[in-house]
Amino acid sequence: MLRIHGSVRSRATRTLWMAGELGLSYEHNDILPRSPATKTAEFLALNPNARLPVIEDDGFVLSESMAINFYLAKKHKSPLYPSDPKNESLALQWSFWETDRTDRQITDYVNNTTGPEDQRNKAVADAAWAALVASLEVLNGALAKTSWLAGPDFSIADLNVAGALYRALFLDLAAWPNVARWLARCWDRPAAKKVRAMREG
């Protein structure tokens, strides 16, 4: 049995999206980041980092959202997992890139511009935006040459990056039209729409 720990309002968004793409049934432990449920001895035994998402798959415990998606797609022999080693490596490249270049940046930007006013920090928001702009330039350039990030079709690379860029759905992306079109195509998939409905419903 697969158990997914993490609210759809966390980085578990991308895990839940992948589970939907794969048509997996799972038990959802719908807990929020930093909530007391992430601080229990039981949860810390699963992830001593006290972070979400985490999965348990018949006793196999795995954290880090990108690794989780690679594991699930590979285990279930999904066409989303590129069979060609070059495309597989591109999927890894883009997933690592995302973790390094946009994951925290977009969260910091949105939290510090739209979060509770007394918790906003303009310097953090400005630095995050500058970094995010540079990353969007890179992604926009890549998507000028290819429709999808790792091969001829939508793959785990697109899911991992677009899933992490959920908040960009609400930003003005006019300066990065390739990103805007690609992001809309990714989030137009049925499994993505279901996750959006969970998150926004």
Report the interface residues with ligand GSH, using CB under 6 A.
Answer: 10-11, 33-34, 50-53, 64-66, 99
Query: From the CB of 69, what's the least distance to ligand GSH, in Å?
Result: 10
For residue 34, the minimal CB distance to ligand GSH (Å) is 5
Structural contact between residues 7 and 31, judged by C-beta atoms closer than 8 angstroms = yes
C-beta of residue 150 within 8 angstroms of C-beta of residue 91 = yes
The minimum distance between CB 164 and ligand GSH, in angstroms, equals: 8
Nearer to ligand GSH, 131 or 147 (CB): 131
Nearer to ligand GSH, 99 or 140 (CB): 99
| Residue number with CB closer to ligand GSH (30 or 147) | 30
Rounded-to-integer distance, Cα 41 and Cα 15, Å: 23
Q: In a 3-state reduction of DSSP, which class is residue 116?
A: coil
Q: Nearer Cβ to ligand GSH, position 44 or 144?
A: 44
Closest CA to 158 of 110, 90, 57, 61: 90
Q: What's the closest the beta carbon of residue 66 comes to ligand GSH, in angstroms?
A: 6
The answer to whether 154 and 160 have CB atoms below 8 angstroms apart is: no
56 three-state secondary structure: strand
